[in-house]
Amino acid sequence: MSHGGRACRDCGAEIAFIEGRNGRWIPVTPGTEDRHRCELDQVCESCEKTFQGANWMKVCPECYRSGGKPPKAPPAAPSPSRTKEPLQDDMSFDDDAPPF
């Protein structure tokens, strides 16, 4: 059963609704069973790639599937190593030798 003649609240496109197997209503393109997808240009907050979706979408589908991180992000730069400490000039005092 289909209910139609409405406009998408995000993009304004004409949509219809069909009832899914679980009893939920699914927005579709009128006259078909193709699920409605908004075609507004959005910029991903994670990888900054432009994608099409509703105005509430913050990340692209690829970043969403990978947990909000860009899928091919470069590895993090290694932390700089510590500077070497020079040896003490006077090695006559050795605190590693007994008695402690």
Domain ranges of the chain: 1-36, 38-71
pTM for the full model? 0.50
Residue 52, pLDDT above cutoff 60: yes
- The torsion angle over the Cα atoms of residues 62, 68, 71 and 76, rounded to 10 degrees, is 170
pLDDT at position 16 is: 93
pLDDT at position 32 is: 87
pLDDT at position 14 is: 93
Residues 6+ apart with CB under 8 A from 78: none
Residues 6+ apart with CB under 8 A from 8: 14, 15, 27, 36, 38
pLDDT averaged over every residue in the chain: 80
| CB distance 33 to 18 below 8 Å | yes
Q: Residues of the chain with pLDDT > 70: what percent?
A: 74
pLDDT at position 15 is: 92
Own/partner long-range contacts of 50-55 (Cβ < 8 Å, ≥24 apart): 54/10, 54/11, 55/10, 55/11
What is the average per-residue pLDDT within 54-74?
76
